[in-house]
Structure 1
Amino acid sequence: MNKSNLLLTLCGWSLLTLNACKEASESQTEEANTYQEVALDGKAEYLDSPFVTAGDRVYMVGHQDGSFPELGWHISGEMGGVWNHPIKLLDGFGLSLKTERDLIILDKADKFTNYPWGNSHDYGNVANTDLHITRTQFAPDRKQGMVVWYTLENKSTEDKSFGLNLHVYSDLMPTWLGERTDMKDGKDLVTMNKDGHLYFRDSEMEYHCIVSTNLAAIMRDSENANNFSTIESPYKGNGITALQSFNMLIPAGESKKFQVVISGSYESRAISYSENKDIRENWPEMLEAKKARLASLAKQSKLNIPDKKIEEAFEWLKYNSDWLIRDVPHIGRGITAGIPDYPWWFGVDSEYALKGYMTIGQTDIVESTIALLDSVSEAVNGNGKIIHEMSTNGAVFNPGNINETPQFASLIWEVFKWNGDKAFLERYFPTVEKGLSWLMEAQDKDGNLFPDGFGMMEIHGLDSEMIDVAAYTQRAFADAAAMAEVLGKSELEQQYRETAAKIAAKINAEFWSEEFNSFADFIGTDQQALHLIEDAIVRADTLDKPWAVEELKATRAKIKANPSATPRPFVLHHNWVVNTPMEMKIADPDKALKALDTGANYANPFGMFVTGIDRDESAGSDDGSFKGPEIFSYTGAVMTLPTAVQIVGENNYGRPDKALNYLQKMTRSFSYALPGSMYEVSPDYGMIVQAWNIYGYGVPIVQQFFGIQPMAHKKIVYIRPQMPSSWNNASLENVKVADNTISVYFEESESGEKQIRVTQTVDQWELRLELPLDNSIIYSFNEGVANETEGDTDRFSTRGKVLELKLNQK
C-alpha cells in the first residue's frame, strides 16, 4: 500500500479529533539548531537515501527526506525504522496536517542536516498553510529510547489552527537469527492510556514499545481520551499502525513545538515505561550531556592540517565510530560493523577498526568489544578461534574464518602498546596462545606454515592458502613473541620469533610472482586454479572486462602447458589482499615497491577495487563512481578497507605522498551521500556508516604521518614522523596514551626552518623523537633533551614535558 494513500485512509478513519486549542507545553523542548558548532547539510540529490540517528541502545534509520521506506537486505526490507536490539520497535512514524481545505502529508523534507548527536529534516514552508515545519531527533546515551520533536512556525500575520495527525507504524520483531534463540514474531497489539501514551506489545513475546507526546494534557481532558485509530500495517511483518489526532492553535508570527518520545524493551512493559518517563522528564539534560561528550571526543587526537577536507573527515569519523557502539543487556557492549545491514558484532571488522579507535582515544569501547569477542569465541569455539559474525541476540552465524584468529593476536598487542596494562595482556594471552596452536595444528594441513581456509575474500572456492591469512599469521607470531617477552615466557617467545621469521621468508619466496610484480592471491593446486579461472572468466565477461578475460585465458593456457603436481602461487583476481604483506611490513623492500606500484593499477578516484579484475575505465583517473546492483553485492566495488591497507602499506615503505594520495581518494567519499559519514563502498553504496573506516585514518595519520608509536608499558612514546610534503604546518593534539596525553606540532617558516614540538602531560615518561640521519641538517633543541646517533637514525629524547627541535639546512 502506498504510504500517502495509507495516511489518507487513516485520516479518514480517525476516531479521535481533539478540539482543544490549548498550547502545547514547551518546558521540555529545545530547538536543536541553536547548537551549530558542528553541522553538515545534505545534498538535494541524496534526500532519497538513508540516514541514521544513533544511540548506543536505540537507533533509527530512515531516508533523509524524513520518510521510512523499506530498506536493507539482511532482513529483507526491515533494516530501517527504530531498533532497540535485539528487537525492532517501529517501522517509522509520520505527521500530517489537516486544514479546512486540505490534508497535507509531511513525507518529503526539502533539506537534511546532520549533527554529531542527531539530525533534522526541514520541510520548508508547507504549501497553503503559512507554516514552516522542521523535525529533529536524537537518541540519548545509555537509554532505551529516543526523542523526536517537531517545530511549527506560523509565518503569517494571522492566528492559525490546524489538525495534526501523528501516525506510528509498529513492527515489534526479533533481529536476525532470532529463531535460533527462541525469539518469535507475534501480531502487534496497541492500547492507549489516559495520558495519551500508545502501548504497543507483541502478542507472543515480551516485546514492548511506548510512544508518548507532551500533548498528553490535552488528551487527558478529552472525553474521547481512549479512542484512536488502528489499521494493519502495510509493511512486512505483524505490525500495526496507530493514529492520534490533535488540534493546535499557533498565533501569528509564533512557533509551537511538540515532542514524541519512543521507548522499548524486550524484557518488560515496566522497563519500557520507566525509560520513556525518564526521557520525557530529562531529555534536554540528556541532549546537553551527549553534545558535551561528543565535543570532548572531537578534542581527542585533534587534527589541524592544510587539507581541511581530510581534517573534517577525520573529526566526523570519530562521531561515526561512536554511532556504531551497540549495548545489549545480557549480551554485551561493543562496536558493530555497519549500518543498516551489519548492526551487530564481527571479529575481523573489529580487529581492523579497534586499532583506529585506540588512536582516537576511545579506549573503553575497545576493551569492552575485545571482552565480548573473547568470551563468545571461548563459549562457541573453546580453542582460541575467533568468531566472524554474531547477531545481537547472541546467535553466532559464522564461528570464524581463518584470518580472524591471527588478527586477534595482533590486536591484543596493539592495544597493549597503547594502554600499557599488563593485566589486560595476561587476560587475553591464553586466547592468543590457544588460537595460534589451533591455527597451525588444525589448519596447516601440509605443515608448510601457511594455514588453509577462507581469509578476507569471500569468493567460493578461494579457501586454500591465502595471502592475507599468511601475512596476518606471520604478524601474529611476531606480536605474540613480543607479548611472551613482556610476560616472561622466554621459551615461547623464542619459538614464536623463529616461526615468524620462517613465515616471512616463505611469503617473500613462495607467494611472490615476478611475472605480475605482485604477491599471489593464493597457493593451490592446478585443479583449484583452473576451476577458479572458469568462474572468474564468467565474472569478467559478465562485467564486460575483456582485458581480464584475455589475461585469465592466458593464465589458464600456461597452467595447462606447464602442469604442476604440487601446489604453487597464482595471480588470478588481483584481490586487494595481495597488499597485506606491505600492510604488515613483511615484504622485502624491492618486492614491496613493485607490488605497491602494481596495486596502483587497480585504483579509481575513490580508492582500491576489491577485486582487481573488476576494474573499469575509471582506473587510474580522477573521474568515476560506483553503481551498485539492485541486489546487494560487492562485485565491481571500490571499498574503504582495501584503500586503507594500501595507505598503510605505502607509509610502511617510506612513501607518505603516495599514501596521502590514496587518503585523498578515500576522502572523496566523505559526505558524498550522507553528510558527515563515509559509505563502506565508495562513494555511495553499501553501509552508510562503517566501523573500519577509522582504521584508514587513525593509523596512517596518528601512527605514520605524525609517527606516534607508544610502548606504554615501558612509559616510552616513540615519535617517528613521515609527514607528506604538502603538510608543512600541521598539528595533532591530545592523543591519549594510557594516562598520558601526547601532542605533536610541525611548522615550517618561510625561510625554510622546520620545527617539531612534542608535549606530554605526565612527567617521567620518555619522549623519543627519531629521524632519518641527515648530515645536511643542523639541529637545535631545548634544555633537557639528549641527542645520539645510532646507525641511520638521529634520536632525541627527554623525560620532560616538552621536546622542541629546530632543523636548518647547513
Structure 2
Amino acid sequence: MTPDPTNRSSTHPPQRGPVRREAVGRLPVSRGPVSRGPVRRAVGVALLATATVLAGSASALAGPSTTTSVAGPTNAGTASGAAGAANAGSATGAGGAASAAPAAGGSSELSETTRLADRRSLVVGDRAYAMGDETGLYPAAGWHVRGEMGGFWSQPIKLLDGIWFGLDGNWLGKQVPAAKYTSGHGYSRIDYPAAVDVRRTDFVPDGIRATLVGLTFTSGTSRTVKLNVDAHSELMQPYPWDWTSPSAAAANLPDTGDFVDGALRFREQGTPAYPNATRHDFAAFVGSSLRPAAHQLGPDHRGPQSPAVICPKDGTTPARCDDSLTGKGTGGGLTYDVPLKAGEQKTIWFAVAGSDQGSKAAESEYRKALSNPTMLLRAKSAARQQIDAQSAVDLPGDRLLQQSVEWSKQNLADSVQQANNLQIRDVNEGKDYPAPLGTVPTARWFGAGFPDYPWLFATDGEYTAFAAVAAGQFDTVKEHLRALRDVSDLLNNRSGKVAHEVTPTGDVYFGSNQSAGNTDETVKFPSTVALLWRWTGDNKFRDEMYNFSVRNLQYVYKTLDKDGDGWPEGLGNVERSGMGVEKLDNTVYLIRGLSDLADMAAAKHDTKTAQWATAKATDLESRFEAQWWVPQAMGYADSIDDPADPANDNTPIFQRHWIGVTPMEAVLGGGSPLASDEHAQIALDQREKPCYTGEFGLFHTGTGPTSDPKGNPGPSCDAVVSQVPSERSIFGLNTSIMAVAEGNFGRLGPKQQRVYTTGNARIQLDPSVWETPGAMPEIAPSPDSPANIGRAFYDRSMALQAWGTYGILWPVIHQQLGVDPDLGHGRIAVVPQLPTGQHKVAGSNIRVGRGAVDVTARLTGKALSTEVTLKGVGAALTVGAVLPSGATVKSVTVNGHAAQYKLVKTSRGTQVQVAGTGSRTELKVMLG
C-alpha cells in the first residue's frame, strides 16, 4: 500500500487514511494529507474554552510580569507573564538546597481552563519528551502501539507510562482538580488550587535525556504534608508496532523495578524471541534530590489510575484507558514528608531520565537533570527567547498571524529530536525484520508529529524546511537532510532513492529500493538543499549534499520513466483508486528539482550536470501546460496514464485532490511559479470556492460530481465526473500549500491568502478550536475529520505537527516581507507586498547567512515605502515594493534622493526595484 503526503505509516484504525504507508491492508489505499492516523473528529466541536491568550516577559526571576492581549478570532483575554512557571520563594533543588522557583521569563503563554482531562499536554526537548493530559494524568494515547505512544520518552525508547503526585492521600488531577493548564515557550504549567496550592511545571532540558517536573507548594498555615509519588514504567522501543511482524508485543519484554540510592530504577534487559533481534539493556530512573521517607515497589503504582483500564488491541474499546495489552511495565512509589511555613513557597524537582545504553548511562542522565533544575530552566527559557527574537514580526493588520509566527517558531523548536546508533533495517512495511545493514551514529531531525510520528520523514522535512529557514533555524534543516542522506544511502546502496519513514531505532518502514517509495520526496531533496544554500550561502554544505542530490534525479530517470515521456512515475503525496502512474506533484517537484540542481551545478562549474538538468527541466516546463491543464475542470489533472486503461496514454485524470495546487506553490530557480499566470488565476479562484475550502482551510479532496457510490456531499464547482469521493479533511499541510500558492501570485487579500493563514493560525491559537494551546495540530476540525478533543486519546491525529508552520512562516517572511536571499550567488532581494487593506508589515532579525535583515513596509496615503537594514550580510542588495493593483509610479527616492528604478512584472505583481545602498536603504515610492 502506498502513502499520502501525509504518508506516514497508514495505521491500524481504518479511519486513518492517507496517512503514511504502514498500511495494514485494512485501509483504503489512501495517502494524502489526509489521514495519517486516527484522524477524524467530531464535526464542529466548539471547545468553548475560557482560555486566555497570555503574553508577557516576566518571571519570578526576572521581575514583575507584563501582560498583553492578542486579538484573535475569539480574543479571550487575560494575560500573565511567563513567570510563573512557578512563582516561588524558596525552592528545594539539588541536594535539598534552596534555589529559585521554576520560572521561564520572557516567554509568552497560552492558558486553558475547560475540559482539561480531554486535552493532551506536551513538553519536548531534543533528547526527551512527555505527553499526558492537561490535569497531570496519563491516559493511554496513540495508535502505532495502541495506548503506548504517550508518557515519557527518550529516543529511541519509552521510559514511563506516567508519573503521579498525591498530597496527604489526595491525587493531583483527581481528588485535587486542575484549574488551569498553561503552555509556555519550552515548558508547561498546571495549577491546583486547594488548602495547599500546588503549581506543577514540566520541561525538558535540551541535551539531557530527562524530563523535569517541579512542584511548588504554597500553604496559608505552617504544616507538614505527605507527598506521594507514583511511577509506572514501560521500557520499550517505538518499533515494532501492533500489526507488524514481529509485533510490539513480541518485542516488549517485562520490566523490573528496584530502589537505588533514593530513586526508583526500572530496567528491561534481554533479547526478544525472533530472528535478528538484538540484546538490549534499557533503564529509567525516577526521583528527586530529596531523600524519600519511604518507597514501595509493585505492579501498579499509577496514582488514581490504579487499577489500570486496559485498551484492547482492536474492536470495542473504552472511551479512556490506562495501558495496553502490549504493556509489560512495573511500578514504584516514593513518599516524602515536606514541611511548609505559612506563606512560604517551596519547590521540589523530580526527574524522569533514562537510556537505551544501560543503568549507568541512565543514572548519569538522571544526575545531570537534578544537578541544577533552575539553571536548566533558565537555559531553556533563554534558548527559546533567542528563537523568539529571530524573525520577529509586527503585523498590526493581522495580530493573529503575528502571534502564529511567534508560536510556529516555538513549534519547530519543539519538534527537534535526536537519536544515536540507529541500526538501519528495511522492515518492508512491517513484513520483515532482517539483520541491520549498518549504523548511523547520530541522527537529528524535525519530528513530524506527536505522539505517533516524532520520527524522521522525508516528505515532512522537505516542506518544514521552508518554515525553518524563514525562522532562522538552519542547523536542524541541515541535520535533517544529513540524516535522510545517511539512512538512504545505507538502506538503498547509494541508489539515490530517499527513504520515506525512519523510526528512531533505524527501522525503515517504507522507502527502500524494493518498495514503491515516494517519488516526490526523492525529487524534492535537491530543492531543499538549494533552499538552504540560498538562505545561508553555505557552499560547504551544498558540496556535502551535492553528490546525493545528483543521484536523486538520476535515480528517477533510470527507474521511474519507463515510457520515456519525461513525466515521472511512482507514488506521490496522494494515492487513490483510479489515479494514473504519473502524478502531478511528482512532476511539479521534479521540474523544480531539476532547475535547482542546475543552479547548484552551475555554481560548482559542473557543466555536464548543469546542462543535463537544464535540458530536462526546460523540456518538461515547455510541455507542462498542454499536458496537465484540464480546461473543463478549471484546474490541473491530478495524474495521467491510468495503467488499468490501455487506451489512456497520458490522458489527464482529474479527481480534485489538494495536489492540484502544487503548480502554483512550487517556484522554479528563476523565481517564477511553474503554473502560467492565466491558469494560476483560474485555478486559485476555483480552490477558494466552498467545494474546495472550508472554515479552516483547503480540503484534501474537493466536492463535485463523482461516480463513487458515496455520492457528492457538497457543492459542485465544475462538471467533471471523478471516480473517487470527496475527502473534506483539512490538513495543515494542504492549507499551507494553498497559502503559499496564493502568495506566489500576489493574492494576499482577506478572501485569498488570509483565509488560509488564518485557518492554520486558528487551530493553533483560537481557544474555541485548539486542543493543546499554541500547538498546531495535524488536522483541523472539518466535515470529515471531527475535532480531536471529542475522540479517544488512542484514536487521534497529532497534537503537534511541524509541517503546518510552512503556511505561516513562509507567507509572512518570504512573501509579505519579501525576504528573498540568494547568498549562494552573493545577492539578496527584499521586496515586500502589503496585504490588501493593510498599511504596515515589519520584521526584524530575520536570519540570512551569518547575519540578519530588518524590513519595514508601509503605505501612508500615496506613499509606499520599504526600509531595509542589513546586519552582517555581505551580499548585493535589491530593495523594492510590489505596487498595489492598478497603481502607477509618480516618483521614487532612495534615502531621500531621487533615484533610478526598474519596473519589473512578476507573478506577485509589478515591482519597483532599486539597488540597495550600504547597510540601510529607504525606498519611497509616491503613487500616482
Q: TM-score range by the shorter chain?
A: 0.7 to 0.9
1:197-244 CA-partner distances (Å, limit 9, x unpaired): 11111142310001111321x53xxxxx5x523124743311011122
Where 1:407 maps in the other structure, the secondary structure is helix
Give the fraction of aligned pairs with identical amino acids, expressed as a percent. 27
Is 1:569 paired with 2:660? no
1:471 aligns with 588
Partners of 2:680 and 2:172 in 1: CA distance? 66
Task: Please tell me whether the aligned partners of residues 787 and 794 of structure 1 are also in contact (alpha carbons under 8 angstroms).
Answer: no
- Paired residue for 1:801? 919
Supply the AA of the counterpart residue of 1:673: E
d(CA) in 2 for partners of 1:733 and 1:476? 31
Q: Is the 8 A contact 1:60 1:80 kept in 2?
A: yes
Contact 1:418/1:712 (8 A) holds in 2: yes
Of 172, 186, 195, the residue aligned with 1:117 is: 186
Contact 1:47 1:112 in 2 (8 A): no
Of 208, 211, 216 in structure 2, the residue corresponding to residue 143 of structure 1 is: 208
Q: 1:638 to 1:618 in 2, by over 3 A?
A: farther
- What SS is found at the alignment partner of 2:197? strand
Residues 77 and 296 (structure 1), Cα distance of their counterparts in 2 relative to 1, 3 Å cut: same
Q: What stretches of structure 2 of length at least 5 have no aligned partner?
A: 1-90, 271-279, 302-307, 309-322, 422-441, 512-516, 667-672, 705-710, 717-725, 782-786, 789-796, 906-910
Paired with 1:401 and 1:613, the residues of 2 have a C-alpha distance of 26
The correspondence of residues 776-787 of structure 1 with structure 2, limited to 5 A, is 776-782=889-895, 787=900
Q: Which moved more, 1:178-187 or 1:293-302?
A: 178-187
Secondary structure (helix, strand or coil) at the match of 1:385 reads coil
Does the alignment pair 1:228 with 2:303?
A: no
Q: RMSD over aligned Cα, in angstroms?
A: 2.7
Q: Distance in 2 between matches of 1:440 and 1:462?
A: 21
Post-superposition CA distance 1:374-417 (Å, at most 9, x none): 11111112211111100000111111311111111111111111
Aligned to 1:299: 389
Partner SS for 2:193: strand
- Pairing 1:260-659 to 2, within 5 Å after superposition: 260-306=350-396, 307-330=398-421, 331-381=442-492, 382-399=494-511, 400-459=517-576, 462=579, 464-525=581-642, 527=644, 564=647, 566-572=649-655, 574-584=656-666, 585-601=673-689, 602-613=692-703, 636-657=728-749, 658-659=752-753
1: CA distance, partners of 2:648 / 2:338? 82
- Following superposition, the deviation at residue 159 of structure 1 comes to 3.3
Matched, 1:736 2:847: yes
What does the per-residue CA deviation read over 1:699-720, in whole Å, with 9 as the maximum and x for residues that have no partner?
2111111111111123211122
- CA–CA distance in structure 2, aligned partners of residues 281 and 230 of structure 1: 28
**CA deviation after TM superposition for structure 1 residue 753, in Å:** 2.5
In the alignment, the residues of structure 2 paired with residue 353 and residue 163 of structure 1 have an alpha-carbon distance, to the nearest angstrom, of 47
C-alpha spacing 1:592/1:102, structure 2 compared with 1 (3 Å): closer
Query: After superposition, what is the alpha-carbon deviation per residue over 1:670-717, rounded to whole angstroms, capped at 9, x for unaligned?
Result: 232211111110145421111112211222111111111111123211
Counterpart in the other structure of 1:665: 759
The whole-number CA distance in structure 2 between the counterparts of 1:606 and 1:42 is 21
CA gap 1:714/1:69 in 2 versus in 1, 3 angstroms = same
Q: Determine if contact 2:457/2:501 at 8 Å carries over to the other structure.
A: yes
> In 1, Cα distance between the equivalents of 2:662 and 2:108?
36
Give yes or no for contact 1:151–1:257 (8 Å, CA) kept in 2. yes
Amino acid at match of 2:652: P
Q: Compared with structure 1, are the counterparts of its residues 580 and 699 closer, same or farther at alpha carbon in structure 2 (3 Å cutoff)?
A: same
Structure 1 unmatched ranges of 5 or more: 1-22, 220-224, 529-562, 621-633
Q: Is the 8 A contact 1:231 1:241 kept in 2?
A: yes
2:350 aligns to what SS in structure 1? strand
Secondary structure of the residue that 1:612 maps to in structure 2? Answer: coil
> How far apart are residue 28 of structure 1 and its match?
5.5
Q: RCO higher in 1 or 2 (8 Å CA, sep ≥ 6)?
A: 2
CA contact (8 A) 1:336 1:344 kept: yes
Contact 2:258 2:297 in 1 (8 A): no
CA contact (8 A) 2:866 2:880 kept: no
More displaced 10-residue stretch of structure 1: 701-710 or 196-205: 196-205
In the superposition, the TM-score normalised over structure 2's length comes to 0.74
The one-letter code matched in structure 2 to 1:807 is V
Is 1:761 the counterpart of 2:851? The answer is no
Structure with higher Rg: it is 1
Q: Does the C-alpha gap of structure 1 residues 617 and 120 become closer, same or farther in structure 2, counting only changes over 3 Å?
A: farther
Question: Structure 1 length normalisation: TM-score?
Answer: 0.85
* Other structure's SS at 1:403 match: helix
* CA deviation after TM superposition for structure 1 residue 463, in Å: 5.9
Matched-pair contact (CA < 8 Å) for 1:94–1:107? no
* SS of equivalent residue, structure 2 residue 901: strand
Q: Distance in 2 between matches of 1:102 and 1:758?
A: 56
Q: 1:526 to 1:490 in 2, by over 3 A?
A: closer
One-letter amino acid matched to 1:777: K
The 2-side partners of 1:656 and 1:270 are apart by 56
For the residues of structure 1 that align with 2:299 and 2:890, how far apart are their CA atoms? 78
Q: Which residue of 2 aligns with 1:551?
A: none
- What do residues 57-90 of structure 1 show as CA deviations (whole Å, max 9, x unaligned)? 0100111121100010111111100001111000
- Whether contact under 8 Å (1:46, 1:674) holds in the other structure is no
Cα 1:618–1:802 shift into 2, 3 Å? farther
Contact 2:832-2:882 within 8 A present in 1 as well: no
Q: 1:46 Cα shift? A: 4.9
Q: 1:569 to 1:463 in 2, by over 3 A?
A: closer
Q: Which string of whole-angstrom CA distances, capped at 9 and with x for unpartnered residues, describes residues 541-560 of structure 1? A: xxxxxxxxxxxxxxxxxxxx
String of CA shifts for 1:132-162, please: whole Å, max 9, x gaps: 222111110100112111122223xx43343
Q: What residue in structure 2 maps to residue 131 of structure 1? A: 196
Hey, what's the Cα distance between the residues in 2 that align with 1:314 and 1:373?
A: 27
- Mark the CA change 1:790 to 1:594 in structure 2 (over 3 Å): closer, same or farther: closer
Matched residues in 1 for 2:648 and 2:405: separation? 50
The separation in 2 between residues aligned to 1:713 and 1:298, in whole angstroms, is: 26
CA distance in 1, matches of 2:538, 2:369: 37
Task: Give the secondary structure class of the aligned counterpart of 1:425.
Answer: helix
Provide the C-alpha distance between the structure 2 equivalents of 1:566 and 1:84, rounded to a whole number of angstroms. 51
Quick check: 34-43 or 351-360, which moved more? Answer: 34-43
Distance (whole Å) between structure 2 residues aligned to residue 107 and residue 407 of structure 1:
51
Distance 1:299 1:34 in 2: 15
Query: Matches of 2:238 and 2:213 in 1, distance apart?
Result: 23
The amino acid across from 2:566 in the alignment is: L
Q: What is the deviation of 1:764?
A: 4.9
- 1:613 and 1:526 map into 2 onto residues whose CA distance is 25
Q: Please report how far the alpha carbon of residue 806 of structure 1 lies from its aligned counterpart in structure 2 after TM superposition.
A: 1.6
2:110 to 40, 52, 56: 40
The offset of 1:41, in angstroms, is: 0.3
CA–CA distance in structure 2, aligned partners of residues 518 and 199 of structure 1: 60
Distance 1:171 1:805, change over 3 A: same
1:461 Cα offset (Å): 6.1
Displacement after TM superposition at 1:587 (Å): 1.3
In 2, the alpha carbon distance for the partners of 1:401 and 1:712 equals 30
